Structures are given as C-alpha cells and as structure tokens.
Amino acid sequence: MNEPMIAVLAGGTSAEREVSLGSGKAAALAMAYTHPTRLFVVDTDALPEGLDPARHIVLSTMHGVFGEDGSMQRLLDAAGVHYAGCDAKGSDLCFDKWRTRLTVSAMGVQVSPGRNFLATAKPTAAALTAEFGEQIVLKPNRQGSSVGLQIVTSKVGLEIALAGVRQGDWIAEKRILGREFTVGLLRGRAMGVVEIVPKSGVFDYSSKYTKGLTEYFAPAKISEELAAAIRAAAETAFAACGCRDYARIDFMVSGDGELYLLEINTLPGMKETSLLPMSARCVGLDFIALCRELTAPAVERFQLAHTARQ
C-alpha cells in the first residue's frame, strides 16, 4: 500500500482564519519531514477540492466555527476521509463551553459558577452581580481563541457589556483570580503543564496573538503535586468529553489553590511557538515529532480500514 499523504487544512471562514493560516503553514512544513504532505487552504464552509479518501489523511489546523464545532468533521466522515483529532461528536461537545462545563463537572472536575443565556433573554447586570459578584467573565458560548471575551469588574461595566450582547448564546461566570495554566494531551495522556502570564492580567485575543504581551513558563514553576492534579483533571475531562487523539485543556488555579477548568481546545494553535507545542517540548517532543504523533492514530485507522478492504 502506498504511504498516505497528510492533507493539512487551514484557513476557513471564522474570525480565526488568519491564526489558522499561520498554524497550517507551520504544521505542513513540519509534517513534510516525516510524511508526504499537502497544504489545503479552505475558503468556504466545505471540504476543499482534491481530498481523496483513498490517499489522504487530514490534519486540520482550522479554528472556530466550521473548523472546530464538528461541522467539518461530519463532512469528512461523510466523505470517508480519515482525520486526526476529535470526531464530530467530541468536537461539537467541546466547542459548546456550557455543555463542556456540565460534562466535566459531572465527573468531578470543578468549573467556575456561571449562567448560560441567549441574547434574546439576557439577565440583568443586577441579577448577575448579585449571584457572582462584580468580577465576571462574559463570553460567547460557541467561539474560540477568546473571541468576544470580556472581563468586567463592576456592575456599571457589566451593564455596558450586556448592552453589546445582541445575538447568540452566551455565558456569564464568576471570574477566578489566580494563575492560568494549560496542558496538552496525546492519546488522552497529559504532557507538560505550561503557565500563562499575560502582562495585562487577562489572556484575551490580543494577549494571545500580540508578541511580547504574554510570558510563558514551560514547564510551569509549580509543585509536582499541583502539576499532577492539573494533568489528572485534564485526562478526566478528555475522557469525559469523548475526545480523541489530542487536545489542549486550560485551567485556572485560584489564590486558595482550587483548580477550575476553563475550556477544552480540540484543534489548538499549531505554530511552533503555540501552547500545545510548548507542552510537548516539556516531555521531549520537538515540533516535528509532535506533528508526527498527532497524526499517528489517524494513520493507524487509515491503514486498518484499507487492510480490511483488501
């Protein structure tokens, strides 16, 4: 059997298109060291022309709506194309932050107190501050890369933020003050814990993608006990949400040492300087080796399926 080609998908139509294009280019260059590779730039909410289920295995670096929400994965399934990463069901669940919260909390992974609401039936600032205090995180329920995320620190600030909520599905949650961490997972096993220290105090879109606005410590300078707790919570959440192959999971640790899950990223950033590669380097995987490992389970599924047909 001829060796499969890795089809790296990048771009898309979401607010994170430019981020995805950067990830795709970096991942394709790295994949080319170990596999025949082709970069496909996606410009519509459809699979790119030229994908061949008999030849290609997809490594998607697309983010946001269509890329991460299960829509693209369902199209790949329907076309019979094997792909790395979470399947459609797991992708859809993890893209929905509220459903993710309910799922992981049922398995004992703590999340911040919060409320889910539609813009057409949004709560008042008075109701939210009475329930959660004046330090509140307001964010879209189904977006990635901190798109639309707002941190409010007063009732007046919350009133202004809520006035801008005109459509869609949202979450308001009590802000956890403390230290932020992330950890990558391969085949459900946690790698190294990375600490994220934004200079502004908030890891928003600007802090993520503007050079120099955030410091990273990989591995995090924390006790082995805390690192183990973060890794264990990540592995529990990964399994609970039906994730597959790999993911990156973000946490906050409050000032009194309580651990809270923030979100699960099923298609995290894939530049060499991104957080998942940072986590992988903590356990001895450079970027080329990481890309090879991300696709390895999909290569196995592809080979098993093609052997079964013979």
Q: Which residues are catalytic?
A: 16, 145, 209, 248, 250, 263, 265, 269
Structure token pair of residue 221: 């300078």
> Alpha-carbon distance 91 to 244, whole Å?
9
Nearest by Cα to 272 from 62, 16, 22? 22
Strand partners, 115: 172
Tell me how far CA of residue 230 lies from CA of 42, 96, 111, 157, in angstroms. 35, 22, 13, 32
> Alpha-carbon distance 61 to 276, whole Å?
12
Indicate the Cα dihedral angle 78, 81, 85, 89, nearest 10°: 10
Count Cβ atoms below 10 Å from residue 132 Cβ, excluding itself: 19
Angular region, 126: left φ>0, alpha ψ -120 to 50, beta rest: alpha
Using alpha carbons only, how large is the chain's radius of gyration in Å? 19
> Alpha-carbon distance 122 to 113, whole Å?
17
Main-chain phi, psi angles of 308, to 5 degrees = -65, -30
Classify residue 207 by its DSSP letter.
Answer: H
DSSP 221-286: SS-HHHHHHHHHHHHHHHHHTT--SEEEEEEEEETTS-EEEEEEESS---STTSHHHHHHHTTT--
Size (the chain), residues: 310
How big is the CA angle at 239 (ends 236 and 241), to the nearest 5 degrees?
105
